[in-house]
Structure 1
Amino acid sequence: MSTVTLQEKQSYRIMGMSLPLFGIVTAVVLIATYMEVLPKGMIGAFALMMVIGAILNEIGSHLPIVKNYLGGGPIVIIFGSAALVTYNFLPETSVEIMSNFMKGEGFLDFYIAALITGSILGMNRELLIKASIRYLPAILGGVVAALGLVGVVGAVIGYGAKEAILYIGVPIMGGGMGAGAVPLSQIFGSSLGVDPGEMISVMVPAVALGNAVAIVVAGLLDRLGKAKPYLTGNGELMELKENQAQVKEETKEKEKKATIDLAMMGRGLLLAVSFFVLGSIIGKFFPQVHSYAWMIISVAIVKALNILPREYETGAFQWFQFVMTNLTGVLLVGIGVAFTNLQQVIDAFTIQYVLLVAVTIIGGVVGSGIVGKFVGFYPIEASITAGLCMANMGGTGDVAVLSAADRMKLMPFAQISSRIGGAFMLILASTLLKIFI
C-alpha cells in the first residue's frame, strides 16, 4: 500500500498548502497564541498574521455578495481582524505582538518601501513622466467635487454647509490620521480657540468611517471595471496611444522572460530600504513634506533619468512582487488589528453622518474620475488613486483600497495622494478657516 502524504491528500489548498497541512500549522499557531507563548517580534507576528489572513481571505473570497461587490478577501481580512480585537477573541499579548510589529517594528514602512520602489522602477519610463505631470489636476478635481458636494448636502439636510465641509469633508480628504487628522486638529484648535483633543474626537469618526467606505467603494469600482471595460486600464493609470501600447507590451514580455533571481531580489530589497532611508534624510531637512513623498520623488527621479541599470530595476520589481504576493494578507491583518477602531466606525453610524461621509467619497471619486479622463487617465484608476486614496486613512488605507480594487501596482500614485495631497489639504484647511471664521 502506498503512503499518502499530506500534500497529496487534498487538491484544495490555502496559501499553496493542502488542507491537512494548513490545519496542522494553524493548530500549532493558535495553541501557542491562547497559551500565550507566541514568540514576540516578527516570528510570532508573522505566524499568527499569516494564518489569520489566509483564513479570512478564504472566507471573503467565497462570500457571494462580499466577493463580487465589497472587495472580497481584503475587506474581510481588515474588518474581521478588527472584530477579533474589538470583541476580545484574541489574547491581549498576541494583539500587542501584532500591533508592535506594525508600528514599533515598522512592518508597514517595510511593505510600502518595497511597493513604491518596485512599482516605480518597474514602470515604463515614458509613462511615469507623462502621468506624473497630469496627476495633480486629478487630485484637485476630486477635492473640489468632494468638498462642494458635502457642503451642498450638509446645507440641504440641516447639518450645515460649513460644518460638513470643515468637520467631515476636510478630515476625510486630509491624508489619514497621523498626517491628516492630528495636524488638522492642531490647526482647527488654534484657529477656533478650542482644545485640539476635542477637535480630533470630532474628526476621528469621519476619518475612520471614510476609510471604511473608501475600501468598499474600491471593491465596487473594480466590479464596475469588469462590467464596463472601457472605463479601466486594469491597473494602468494612463490611457496609452498605439505606440505606447506597443511599448507596454514589450515591457510585459520582458517581465515575463525575466527569470526569478534570488540574488537579484536581495538587491531589490536593499534598494527598497535604501530609498526609504534617503526619504527620511531629505525629510529631516524639509519636514514640511512627509518622508514617504521624498522617497517617491527620489525613486521617480532615478527612474526618469534612467540612472539604474535594468537588472537593478528588475530586482526591485521582483522583490515588490514577492512582498505583494506573500505579505499583503499579513499587512491587512495588521491594518485591522493596529489601525482600525471598529467601535469608532460603529458609533458613527447615524443616517445623517453616514450620508455626508458617503457623498464626500462619491464626490472625490466622480471629480477625480472626470478630471482624470480629461487629462488622459482611465477614469476608474484615476478615481481610485486621486480620489479614494485622498479619502482613506493614509498609508494603511492606500494598501487596503488598492488591495480591495486589485490594483496594488498603483501604490506610487496612491502615496502621492496620501502624502503630497495630504500636505496640500493642511494648507487648504488653513485657508478655509480664514474664509469661514
Structure 2
Amino acid sequence: MKERFKLAGIEMKYFIPITIVLLVGMYLGKFPKGMLGAFPLMMVLGAILNYIGNKTPIIKDYLGGGPIVIIFVSAALVYFNVMPEGQIKLMKEFMTTQSFLDFYIAALVVGSILGMNRKLLIKAALGYLPVIIGGVAVAVLLTGIVGAVLNYGFVNSIFYIAIPIMGGGMGAGAVPLSQIFGQALNKQPTELLAVMVPAVALGNALAIVCAGLLDKLGQKYPKLTGNGKLLKVQDDSMIAHKNDASLTYEELGIGVIISTTFFIFGGIVTKFISIHAYAIMIIAVAIVKVFGLMDEYYESCCAKWFNFIMKNFTSALLVGIGVAYTSLESVIESFSPTYLILVGTTVVGAVIGTALVGKLVGFYMIEGSITAGLCMANMGGTGDVAVLSAAHRMELMPFAQISSRIGGAFMLLLTSLLINLLL
C-alpha cells in the first residue's frame, strides 16, 4: 500500500484544514501572544517551504535545499509585506526576547556533544581537530588577504565571510555567530546575519561542486585518495555507535533541564570572563563528556532531547531566522563580484589547508579535504549528505559529523577569542 503524502508527519486531510485555520487567524489578527501564537504558524510554514526546497532542482542539489528556501522565502514575506505586521512582531519577539533561538542552540550544543561516542570525541580532538584547524587557518587568512587586496577589508572578509562559511551552517553557525558579533560590536544581529546568510548559502553550493571535482581528481591521481578510507591506518574507535534505545517522555524532560542549565551556567561565567555564553557552554559540555563526569543515562537523555528538537523544530527555527534575522534588502545589497570571489577563496582555502595538514597526520588528501574541509564549509547535516553524495563517499559520514559538531563548536570558540584580539 502506497504511503499517503504528509507534511510535518500530518496527512493532507488534516494538514490543509490546520493551515487554513492558521492563515485565517493570522490575517484576522486573532493569534495569541508568545509561543502559542508563534509556534504553529512557524512549524506549518516551515514544513511547506522545506518540502518545496527539497524538491526544487538545482536548489536541492547545490544550494542546501529546504533550509535556504525557508529562510529566504520567510524573509521575502516580510520584505514584500505579505505577512501582517502583528505576526512579524510576534515571531521576532518569540525568537529574541522570549529566547527560542537560545533554547534551540542549548539543545543542539549539549545534546550533540554529549551524544557523541566518547572515544570519537577524544580521537577527534587529538587527531582530527588539527586538520580542521589547518583548513580554517588557511581559509581565514587567505580570504582576509584577498579581501584586503580587493578593498573589502581584511577583518571584514574574515568575520563576515570566512568564519560564517566555516562555522557549521545556519542554526549552529551563522545565527550564534551573529549573536556573538552583535554583542561585541554593539550591532543588531539582524544586520550582521544579512551579510552572513548569502555567504553560507554560496559556500555550501561551492562545497558540493568542489566535492565532485575532488572525486574526479582522485580518479585521475589514485595516490591521493583512499577511495572512501580517511586514515592510512584506520582505527575502529573512530566509528560512532548510534543509540537506538527506546524513548520515554521523562527522558525528554531531563534533557530540557540539563541543556538549559548548561546554557545558564555559560551566562553566569560571562559575568567574570569576557567570552560569549555559547563558548562557555561548549567548553563546559566538552569537559563533562571527555572526563566522564555524567552518567551515560543522562547523556542519552540530552541526545534524545536534541534529536527531538532538531526533528520537530528546525524548520520552525529557520522561519524565525528568515523573519527576525534576515533583511532581504541587505542581502541583495551585499552581492557583488568581490563577495563571490571571497566566498570561493574561503572554500578553496579550506580544501588546501586540510589537504596539507591531513597529509602530515596520515590522512589521504582527498578524503581529508572532503571531510575536514568541505564538510566544515557546507551547511551542517544537509550539507554533509550533499557533499558526500557528490564525492561518492557516504561512508565518511562519521567524520563529516565531527566537522559539523566539533568543528562548528570550535568556530564559535575561535570567534569569541579572535573578536577580542582583532576588534
User: Do both share a fold (TM > 0.5)?
Assistant: yes
How has the CA–CA distance of structure 1 residues 18 and 405 changed in structure 2, closer, same or farther, with 3 Å as cutoff?
A: same
Deviation (angstroms), 1:232? 7.2
Deviation (angstroms), 1:164? 3.8
Deviation (angstroms), 1:213? 2.4
In 1, the alpha carbon distance for the partners of 2:160 and 2:63 equals 24
Q: Tell me if 1:279 matches 2:266.
A: yes
Deviation (angstroms), 1:56? 0.3
Q: Tell me if 1:332 matches 2:318.
A: yes
Q: Which residue of 1 aligns with 2:391?
A: none
How has the CA–CA distance of structure 1 residues 131 and 238 changed in structure 2, closer, same or farther, with 3 Å as cutoff?
A: farther
In 2, the alpha carbon distance for the partners of 1:103 and 1:218 equals 31
Deviation (angstroms), 1:84? 1.1
Deviation (angstroms), 1:31? 0.8
8 A Cα contact 2:29 2:86, kept in partner? yes
In 1, the alpha carbon distance for the partners of 2:272 and 2:48 equals 44
Q: Which residue of 1 aligns with 2:22?
A: 29
Q: Which residue of 2 aligns with 1:144?
A: 138
Deviation (angstroms), 1:225? 9.7
Return the letter of the residue paired with 2:142. Answer: G
Return the letter of the residue paired with 2:252. Answer: M
Q: Which residue of 1 aligns with 2:107?
A: 114
Deviation (angstroms), 1:264? 1.7
8 A Cα contact 1:74 1:404, kept in partner? no
8 A Cα contact 2:193 2:326, kept in partner? no
Deviation (angstroms), 1:110? 0.8
Give a deviation string over 1:276-330, Cα, whole Å, max 9, x none: 111212222212x211111111111111121222211111111111111111111
In 1, the alpha carbon distance for the partners of 2:259 and 2:105 equals 9
Which has the greater radius of gyration? 1
Structure 1 residue runs without a partner (length 5+): 1-7, 187-195, 389-399, 431-437
Give a deviation string over 1:316-369, Cα, whole Å, max 9, x none: 111111111111111111111111111111112222333234323442454356
Q: Which residue of 2 aligns with 1:82?
A: 75
Return the letter of the residue paired with 2:74. Answer: S
Return the letter of the residue paired with 1:177. Answer: S
In 1, the alpha carbon distance for the partners of 2:2 and 2:146 equals 61
The 10-residue stretch of structure 1 (359-368 or 59-68) with the greater mean CA deviation from structure 2: 359-368
Return the letter of the residue paired with 2:418. Answer: M
In 1, the alpha carbon distance for the partners of 2:118 and 2:330 equals 43
The two structures have a TM-score, normalised by structure 2, of 0.78
Return the letter of the residue paired with 2:154. Answer: I
In 1, the alpha carbon distance for the partners of 2:291 and 2:352 equals 34
In 2, the alpha carbon distance for the partners of 1:13 and 1:224 equals 36
Q: Which residue of 1 aligns with 2:397?
A: none
- Among 53, 60, 84, the alignment partner of 2:46 is 53
Q: Tell me if 1:312 matches 2:298.
A: yes
In 1, the alpha carbon distance for the partners of 2:402 and 2:253 equals 20
In 1, the alpha carbon distance for the partners of 2:322 and 2:208 equals 17
Find the residue that maps to 1:307 and give its secondary structure: coil
Q: Which residue of 2 aligns with 1:177?
A: 178
Q: Tell me if 1:97 matches 2:90.
A: yes
Deviation (angstroms), 1:69? 1.8
Return the letter of the residue paired with 1:267. Answer: I
Return the letter of the residue paired with 2:341. Answer: L
- Percent of aligned positions with the same letter in both sequences? 36
Find the residue that maps to 1:111 and give its secondary structure: helix
8 A Cα contact 1:71 1:405, kept in partner? no
Q: Tell me if 1:380 matches 2:375.
A: no
8 A Cα contact 2:354 2:368, kept in partner? no
In 2, the alpha carbon distance for the partners of 1:405 and 1:57 equals 17
How has the CA–CA distance of structure 1 residues 209 and 279 changed in structure 2, closer, same or farther, with 3 Å as cutoff?
A: same
Q: Which residue of 1 aligns with 2:154?
A: 165
The 10-residue stretch of structure 1 (203-212 or 101-110) with the greater mean CA deviation from structure 2: 203-212
Find the residue that maps to 1:64 and give its secondary structure: coil
How has the CA–CA distance of structure 1 residues 205 and 36 changed in structure 2, closer, same or farther, with 3 Å as cutoff?
A: closer
Structure 2 residue runs without a partner (length 5+): 165-176, 219-224, 386-399
Q: Tell me if 1:241 matches 2:227.
A: no
Give a deviation string over 1:171-201, Cα, whole Å, max 9, x none: 3345633423663x58xxxxxxxxx99xx98
Correspondence 1:337-356 to 2 at 5 A: 337-356=323-342
How has the CA–CA distance of structure 1 residues 108 and 214 changed in structure 2, closer, same or farther, with 3 Å as cutoff?
A: farther
Deviation (angstroms), 1:214? 3.3
In 1, the alpha carbon distance for the partners of 2:355 and 2:89 equals 40
How has the CA–CA distance of structure 1 residues 261 and 219 changed in structure 2, closer, same or farther, with 3 Å as cutoff?
A: farther
Q: What is the root-mean-square deviation in Å for CA atoms of aligned residues?
A: 3.5
In 1, the alpha carbon distance for the partners of 2:231 and 2:293 equals 23
